[in-house]
Structure 1
Amino acid sequence: MNSIKYLILFVLAAVAFPLSAQTTSITVTGKIVETISKEPVPFATVLIQDPQTNQNITGTTTDEDGSFTMQVAKSKFSVEVSFIGFETLTINEFSMSGDIADLGVVSLEKINTVLDEVELRAEKSSTEFKLDRRVFNVGKDLSSTGMGALELLNNVPSVSVSIEGDISLRGSSGVQILIDGKPSILADDPANSLSSITAEMIERIEVITNPSAKYDAEGTSGILNIVLKKDDKTGMNGSITLNTGIPDNHSVGFSLNRRTEKFNLFTQLGVGYRSLPRDSENSNQDLVNNTTVDSKGTSYRNENFYNIILGSDYYVNELNVITLSGNYAYEIEDQPSETDFNYFDSSGDLVSSWNRKETTEATNPKWQFDLQYKKEFEDSDDHVLLFSTQGRFFGKDQASEFEVTPIEGDLEFNDQQTETEFQQAEYIFKLDYTKPFTDRISMELGSQYFISDVGNDYTVRELIDGEWITDPNLTNNFEFDQKVFGIYGTFSHEGDVWGFKAGLRLENTTLKTFLEDTDEKNSQYYTDLFPSAHISYKLSDVTSFQLGYSSRIYRPRLWDLNPFFNIRNDFVIRKGNPYLEPEYTDSFELTSILVFEKFSLNAGVYYIYTTDVIERVTTFEDNVSITTPENVGTNQRIGFEANFKYSPINWFTLNGDFNYGYFKRVGDFEDQSFDFTGDQSTSRLTGKFKLPAQFELEIIGNHQSSFQNIQGEVSSVTFADLGLRKKISKGKLVLNLSVRDVFASRNREIMTYGDDFYVYSNSTRGRFVTLGLSYGFGKGEAMTYSGRRR
């Protein structure tokens, strides 16, 4: 801003010099504010003009508080005030006191047409296409009120989120989640943690199906990069948001931003309470003995949360910026559940029934810091050196009690207790350098070192003869240590018609796991090369094509490796596999983009080949199903996807997203063949309506087809969301109502088959209704804190 200001002064002084023959010096002062809000207008242009010739004599720009002072060597003059987005104002009459002309407080009127256009862009989500990614710009979509990032991802083209919170891209798991281009504690367990980022805090989501070598090679399906908003408006800006909902979803959010010439200070505070119910139904059938165990129950995750974010940008000068930010969150969890069990013999007669009641309490401290230094060079805005370091920690101190109450029959089960002490610390060090040689040719070089250190001390006790006895088969301390070092280089050329980007990344991985009590150790060391290539071709102003290739890896996550499991249901057990190997993927895609005045279409085909595929394999014994991740063969997937946007009239917009994939699985596990073929599709249709009296309505319909997995089938899901918004006080105050899963139809059924067993499970969350009220002051925007798990 200062450089622009000095440039304006220089030009104005050059113009004014021939006209400055007068010797009388008059001081002109005043303050420029907005007409309605009375907020100051910084950096507005103030010109002194000759009233007869309209030639500029001198000029200046207003300070951050809207005030200005300047000298003019002429007794007769007029004053012109202008700023982008405001009506230009000319002042011919003003009071003089000696050699001082005080204009007082001058009000500027906003230009309505410009404001409407800007508002439309800011509030509608849209998708744009870059050389190696698609960018989903997050607007103030109505149905997103109270949403966390996890639910918002369900609105992003090509992305699906299951009811359990599993994220897939083009129907495939193995997605790498980044926040501001970096891994995050919140993304390690997205089903439980990602919703601490709310829709109002997100600027855009980048869908990178074939990432360049600049990015981590992690994620065989690609990368979803969540970019958070960062207010760069000058002055004081902020917002206050209130949410309430059914089930319990009550929160207060506060954000504040203060930007000066040297500093940008920002903070966010959030506090609230929420409850997340879940109904589950399971049936385990032993096909050899013809016995069955059915269970049906409801579980809750009740949570008080407290969250604070503090940060600052320090502008050392025009070319150097240092950013330091930190986040601390604290959660207090209460997880009650109650499940009824029934055991049937081979004749279908009820043998025994019992009730299992769980009481779980936990505290979760989380913290994270980011330190970044950015060095720009004078020869180009894109010539940048960037160093960043990040540290983050997540802890969990959890205790559970399981009380069994017999209802009928003589089967006996002991009461149980569990204790968990979990600590996860991660550190990232990155150095990135971008050098443009011309306006079209550039190079990127960089390196990254990632450290992850985890400890999970897990204890299970059973009440035997009135005494709590530790179960050694279920008790252990699991340690996880992973280090990844990577270096990369890319070279790109982007012309008016052709563009390409090629790169190569090298990564070295060291992974160690250790079960302390049983002295079980596992170590993995591997070094891999990951090439990438992207080509774009602009056929016309309407049509463009993109061709992309990347090589990727999916390293087993902590919860894939951790052999401990939740004993909430003793007959349905999920646990990790510390000996799991990584997946490797080669991905190709060809995409076409057509953009017209009222209609845009993105359509493409892709081919993905994955080796050492990680699949959930279920085994069965004594009516207990145990699901464990295993490396099972290869997977080939050929698919087609299309996204469109159609705005036939100014009060209605229709968005659509469709993805279809045909896959071929080849593999075996423990002498059992898992060779089969299948297909899967997802579709989404969104209608947005502008109604009278500044009401807006949004309706979203979703459908996910059924599909076959290696041991069974997952049912189809169809559900709808809607949102309604009312603006008050010209948009400063906004009232939102959102209903997610309007018909309570979003349930997930999984049928698993084996030679000697059949397992059925059904899970549903139900309908969520949220009412939100947000108020923005200064030039800020409200940031809502959602009612989902943070």
Structure 2
Amino acid sequence: MFTQFGLGRRSLPRYDAGINRDLVSQSEIRTDGVNYRNEKFYNITLGTDYHINELNVLTLSGNFAYEVEDQPSETNYSSYKNDALISQWKRTEITEATNPKWQYELNYERQFKDNEKHVLMASAIGSFFGKDQSSVFRNVATLGTIDDKDQQANTDFLEANNTFKLDYTKPFNDRFTLETGAQYLLNEVGNDYAISDYEDGQWIENAELTNNFTFDQKVLGVYGTGSYEGDQWGVKAGLRMENTDLATLLETTSVGNNRNYTNLFPSLHTSYKINKDASLQLGYSRRIYRPRLWELNPFLSLRDNYNISTGNPELNPEYSDSYELTGIFKVAKATLNSSIYHRYTTSVIEDVSTFENNVNTNKPYNIGTRASTGIELNGKYDPIRWLSINGDFNFNFFKRKGVFLDRNFDFNGRQWSGRVTSKIDLPADFALELNGNYQSGFESVNAINSGFAYMDIGVRKKLFKGKLVASMSVNDVFESRISESETNRENFYLYNRGYRGRFITFGLSFGFGKGEAMTYSGGRRR
């Protein structure tokens, strides 16, 4: 039997500034503000392994967590007409929420006597997440007069996920192996939200913004792969069939969107061992990306009434064909993986801005195709016993093609990123980790996004033979992880800038029974 429990607190500020400029009327809204997400969280995990006999094992585990959120924010607005300041006001938010959530996992594994790799595995994994949230937004004029109303929002959100899976692996000999299986995923969501405006001394529900959004998705997958592994050459071919049944509904207005589609996803991979320190791999696979819940959910946030993000229930999935050539090389104390890849994606999901009365609304749509060709390098180097260096680099050139609202979005671009991590074992059971990252700027259908670099530092100390672990980390040491985007259209211009700043985490972990304590990451239990 095993158990784990913990608690923590986080305070996460975010600083944002923006410009919404109407090029026709020569009017402009400027914003700047800060919002916090303060969280307290508690969790406990219980589990057990039951060895029925030497060939059969049953594992059951579960986790329960409870979170309390407080999200105060303050945004300053300035309104201009022909570069002249007309009015200023302040919008404040007080949001409180509680989030109960739990998950379970049941696994059964059977090994067969003829071969330790001859295995039958069955599993059931489920989770639940709830959010009971209330928000109040108030506006106070500091110069001139304003039309913005005070508002409040109440949200009752429930999400349940269950996955049932059966896998069977049968090696016929040392070279040939057959793997088959099936998986059934169920995802059910209800998001009941109500918006009210403060008018004549009372709260009046806004019928146009109040609704209950339900999301019900079922995915059945059946798959099989066959593989051959020789002394130097190997090949693996597979085929997966998936049926997706999706239904979304806005209950109050009876607006629904039902989708049912079946797809085949083939894959083929082959490998060749040049010698013990070098090998090549060549592969093809077809993939699907289904829109996430928040890309489908039409609920909008009221934090900033001039910059709104909303989902699109009519989104279709993306489909990608991926080709990849990989080389794996070992030289002394270094390992290098290098890949050349090409991916072609259809029905690409991208956010698009629409602009009216100085209000920018971001909404995702399926727009055209994306062809991306690039190179990826991953390496590890352990020059001495107490030092380990890991790094990766990714560069790609892409071509976008698409038309939206009679506007042609064809363009070419490039994007690259890099990361280097150093882990250093120090005397007295101290450990130090340095992590440097860079993300280049890139162009999307909606905007030109700037690049940024940032660094994280972490230190850990083991006490009492690893039973107690003290850890501290500093994320974004130089407060340089700043995101900026610009949108230039014929009729409007948008600028947005945001960053979280330096984030410091301190944690203590204590392990009971066998084994060492885990290291506290500063995050919530997912």
Alignment correspondent of 1:633: 368
1:566 to 295, 298, 301: 301
Q: How big is the shift at 1:440?
A: 2.1
CA deviation after TM superposition for structure 1 residue 771, in Å = 3.1
Q: Which residue in 2 is equivalent to 1:338? A: 74
1:366-381 superposed matches below 5 A:
366-381=101-116
Residue of structure 2 equivalent to 1:465: 200
RMSD (Å), alpha carbons: 1.6
Q: CA deviation at 1:569?
A: 0.3
Counterpart of 1:67 in structure 2 is: none
Q: Map residues 206-355 of structure 1 onto 2, 5 A cutoff.
A: 265-346=1-82, 348-355=83-90
Pairing partner for 1:382 from 92, 107, 117: 117
Question: Aligned-pair distance for 1:271?
Answer: 1.6
Comparing 266-275 and 583-592, the one that deviates more: 266-275
The alpha carbon displacement at 1:650 in A equals 3.6
Matched, 1:546 2:262: no
**In the TM superposition, what is the alpha-carbon distance from 1:775 to its structure 2 partner?**
4.4
Larger relative contact order (Cα-Cα within 8 Å, sequence gap ≥ 6) = 1
Paired position in structure 1 for 2:506: 771
Counterpart of 2:291 (choices 547, 556, 564) is 556
Aligned match of 2:421 in 677, 686, 692? 686
* C-alpha spacing 1:307/1:677, structure 2 compared with 1 (3 Å): same
The one-letter amino acid of 1:552's match is R
Structure-2 change in CA distance of 1:734 and 1:269 (3 Å): closer
From 516, 519, 532, the counterpart of 2:251: 516
How many angstroms apart in 2 are the aligned matches of 1:568 and 1:771?
30
2:437 to 684, 702, 707: 702
1:324 shift after superposition: 1.4
Corresponding residue for residue 142 of structure 2: 407
- In structure 1, the partner of 2:315 is 580
User: Which of 703, 711, 722 does residue 457 from structure 2 map onto?
Assistant: 722
1:436 aligns with 2:135: no
Tell me, yes or no, if the aligned pair for 1:276 and 1:788 is still in contact at 8 Å.
no
1:445-524 alignment runs, 5 A limit: 445-524=180-259
Shift in CA distance, 777/424, structure 1 to aligned 2, threshold 3 Å: closer
Instruction: Flag the 1:551–1:522 CA change in 2: closer, same or farther, 3 A.
Output: same
| 1:204-261 Cα deviation digits (max 9, x unpaired) | xxxxxxxxxxxxxxxxxxxxxxxxxxxxxxxxxxxxxxxxxxxxxxxxxxxxxxxxxx
Post-superposition shift, 1:733?
4.4
* 514 and 618 in structure 1: CA distance in 2 versus 1, 3 angstrom threshold: same
Q: 8 Å contact 1:270–1:785 — kept in the other structure?
A: no
List per-residue Cα deviations over 1:262-281 (Å, max 9, x = no partner).
xxx11111122221111111
Describe the SS at the equivalent of 1:335.
Answer: strand
- 1 CA distance for matches of 2:365 and 2:170? 43
Aligned residue identity for 1:449: Y
1:571-602 CA-partner distances (Å, limit 9, x unpaired): 00000111111111100100101112222211
Question: How much does 1:783 deviate?
Answer: 2.1
Deviation at 1:697? 3.1
CA distance in 2, matches of 1:309, 1:733: 19
Paired residues of 2:483 and 2:498 also in contact (CA < 8 A): yes
Aligned residue identity for 2:110: K
Query: TM-score normalized by structure 1?
Result: 0.65
Larger strand share, 1 or 2: 2
Deviation of 1:769 after TM superposition, in Å, equals 2.1
Tell me if the contact between 1:462 and 1:471 (Cα under 8 Å) persists in the aligned partners: yes
**Residue 425 (structure 1) aligns with:** 160
State the Cα distance separating 1:632 from its structure 2 match: 0.2
User: What's the CA shift for 1:726?
Assistant: 3.9
Q: Which amino acid is the alignment partner of residue 697 of structure 1?
A: L
Residue pair 1:303, 1:789 contacting (<8 A) in 2 also: no
The residue type equivalent to 2:123 in the other structure is: S
Q: Secondary structure at the match of 1:539?
A: strand
Distance 1:269 1:604 in 2: 41
Matches of 2:387 and 2:357 in 1, distance apart? 58
Quick one: distance in 2 between partners of 1:725 and 1:322?
Answer: 35
Q: Where does residue 677 of structure 1 map in the other structure? A: 412
> Are the counterparts in 1 of residues 373 and 397 from structure 2 also a CA contact under 8 Å?
yes
> Does the aligned pair in 2 maintain the 1:711–1:754 contact within 8 Å?
no
Q: 2:268 aligns with which of 519, 533, 540?
A: 533
CA 1:290/1:672 → structure 2, altered by over 3 Å: closer, same or farther?
Answer: same
Once the two structures are TM-superposed, the CA of residue 616 in structure 1 deviates from its matched residue by 0.6
Structure 1 counterpart of 2:151 = 416
Q: Distance in 1 between matches of 2:338 and 2:43?
A: 41
Partner in structure 1 of residue 335 of structure 2: 600
Q: What whole-Å deviation, never above 9, does each CA across 1:616-663 have from its counterpart, x for those lacking one?
A: 111110100001110000000000011222233344333221100000
Equivalent position SS for 1:700: strand
Q: State the alpha-carbon separation in 1 of the partners of residues 355 and 374 from structure 2.
A: 34
- What amino acid is aligned across from residue 251 of structure 2 in structure 1? E
What residue identity is the alignment partner of 2:346? T
Pick the structure with more helix per residue: 1
Structure 2 Cα separation of the partners of residues 734 and 472 of structure 1: 53
Q: For the Cα contact (< 8 Å) 2:471–2:519, is it kept in 1?
A: no
1:649 match: 384
| Residue identity in the other structure for 1:448 | Q
Q: Is the 8 A contact 2:509 2:520 kept in 1?
A: no
Choose 1 or 2 for highest CA Rg. 1
SS at match of 1:739: strand
Letter in 1 for 2:17: E
- Alpha-carbon distance, 1:732 to partner: 4.7
Deviation at 1:789, TM superposition (A): 4.3
Q: Work out the CA distance in 2 between the residues paired with 1:486 and 1:449.
A: 6
CA 1:372–1:646: 2 relative to 1, 3 Å = closer
Q: Secondary structure at the match of 2:209?
A: coil
Quick check: 2:471–2:520 contact (8 Å CA) kept in 1? Answer: no
Within 1, Cα distance between the matches of 2:17 and 2:204? Answer: 30
- State the shift of 1:734 in Å: 4.1
Per-residue deviation, residues 521-575 of structure 1 (Å, max 9, x unmatched): 1111111100011111110111111111111111112111111111100000000
Letter in 1 for 2:46: L
User: Are residues 459 and 732 of structure 1, via their aligned partners in 2, closer, same or farther at CA, if it must alter by over 3 Å?
Assistant: closer
CA 1:433–1:282: 2 relative to 1, 3 Å: same
Report how far residue 341 of structure 1 moved.
0.7
Q: Is the 8 A contact 2:507 2:521 kept in 1?
A: no
Offset, 1:728: 4.4
Distance 1:732 1:307, change over 3 A: closer
8 Å CA contact 2:182, 2:222 repeated in 1: yes
| Of 723-732 and 428-437, the range deviating more from structure 2 | 723-732
Aligned-residue identity in percent: 55
Write the distance in 1 (CA, Å) between the matches of 2:470 and 2:514: 18
**Residue 207 of structure 2: SS of its match in structure 1?**
coil
Which SS does the other structure have where 2:208 is aligned?
A: coil
C-alpha distance 729-464 of structure 1, shift in aligned 2 (>3 A): closer
Distance in 1 (alpha carbons) for counterparts of 2:166 and 2:428 = 52
Please say if residues 507 and 520 of structure 2, whose CA atoms lie closer than 8 Å, have aligned partners that are also in contact: no
Contact map agreement 2:467 2:517 (CA 8 A) in 1: no
Q: Is the 8 A contact 2:507 2:522 kept in 1?
A: no
